Chains A and B, each alone.
Chain A
Amino acid sequence: MRFRFLHAADLHLDTPFTRLTGVPDRIARDLRDASLRAFETLIDTAIAERVAFVVLAGDIYDGTDRGVRAQLAFRDGLARLADAGISTYVVYGNHDPIGEGFSAIGEFPPEVTIFGADEVGRAEVRIDDTLVATVSGISYETREETENLALRFPPAKGKGFHVAVLHANVGGQSDFKPYSPCSLDDLRAGGYHYWALGHIHRRSELGDGHPLVVYPGNLQGRSPKPSEQGPKGAVIVDVDGTTATTRFVALDTVRFDHVEVAIDDKHLDDLEQALVDAAEACRTDAGDRPIVVRGHIVGNGHLHDDLAPENRRADLLARLRDLARNAEPFIWWDDLVWRTRPAIDIAERASGDDFIGDLLREVEHGGARAEWVPSIGVEYRNWLGDRAPAADDPELFDEAVTTALVALMEDS
């Protein structure tokens, strides 16, 4: 029998947006509500697509605190699905482990199945009294789930299409926490047709499609980080018997993206126009959604010297924000990242017989850089986490060299 289901993960409902500064109230409100509105769009899409069921593979909420707004919105959304005759299967992940946090929701509709953390739960999906699919899943008990939960899934048995729902890091993807670490082989062993995964925010399908191992990515981008940029949403899975095809649907309500512009021989107005044009193109690519865009300015040229002072760079950012002030849907310039160099030939200057040459050679052969990075207090480290300046960050040192050069070459 043919049917269709929707797979989403990492909803992070009512999640705070990170790495943004200076956001005006008007846009902050939209950002604050973006994850909830994206979830509403998910519900609308599931109903419009007439899916048989929905699977949500963990991190429904952003934290163990589970915001009240988030819980109520989640309950309302699942109730709408239930009213439309659509059942929902949910596991919790590292952000919302089942054993932590509190619940503001008394009872879910009977069409909702929350898989527990003790063992792999199993639920049958029937259409007109015919068994079409079996959904299995397990939630996290605690935040730092280090057990390979995939191994707990018993072999798939019985007729129909078998779906396994799990929040896990398959293949040890380094930029995400190694929770429930497992391998593709672990997943292949169970005989499931479709692994509905969560945890990795980049959309991807792993393996050769047998079985389908799918990360739908998170529902709504949350920061200008690369993994949070681009279209975000869910995967619609069309099933015919035991074969399935997937297609992605973008459901995000605010799009994060970045543009890159080289200064080369540009004048300031050329640079500004290039950035504005790039942002407009970005918004068009986003299907005319609101966008939060970060400008990466690269290359070398005289503009580097002209715009070296922080206040001038801040002025350019303010100017871009001002130009986009009335854009509808909004364009918010999150920041400008300067990776430019002065209009000098670094390699040539490095061979020079002067102080700058000595300085560049010092960088090249200076040895233990880690010792150069200043330490900061523990309190700050707690706040900064993995965003604290690191000795192995080449951009940090490039920026320092550029800053030193600018300081030395500035006219007295």
Chain B
Amino acid sequence: MNIQFLNQNEKNKITEKLKEQFGIEKIPFNLIKIGQERIMAISEKIKKEEIEKIQNIAFIEGIGVYFAKEIENEIRLSIEGTHLLKEQISKNIFELNEKQAEQWMQGNELNLSTGKKGFIIIKFNDDFLGTGKASENKIGNFIPKNRRLKAREFNYQYLQ
């Protein structure tokens, strides 16, 4: 696994983009990059030297949590990325209704006009449901297959 530990400067650049996109001020954990795009979040105790030490011992199959992807100078947060920073997300949030949330979690793109362009945070009630890409009349969906709801499983039968 090709692991690149992001230094403070590189982390600051990502924070700046996240501030611009979603109003996020601070990333309270370390970041590493795997390959060209994937950014992983790791606890602050895991230092560069520690990773290198383990790499000398065994091939690292995985590290931390997949946090975001850097795509064409923009950041697309993963579901966990939105969970980790949910307290700070204040911009470009699009709230879905129950029916839309069900479709979203089934992995469908939504034929909706949000009035925004680019990456937006998808939310339903208190749940952050990852990031979508808004264009004129639709929101592109990035929910991975193993996180999708099967049809008929969105069971919001709340007590009345």
Do chains A and B stick together as partners?
no
Seen from chain A, the residues whose Cβ lies within 8 Å of a Cβ on chain B are none
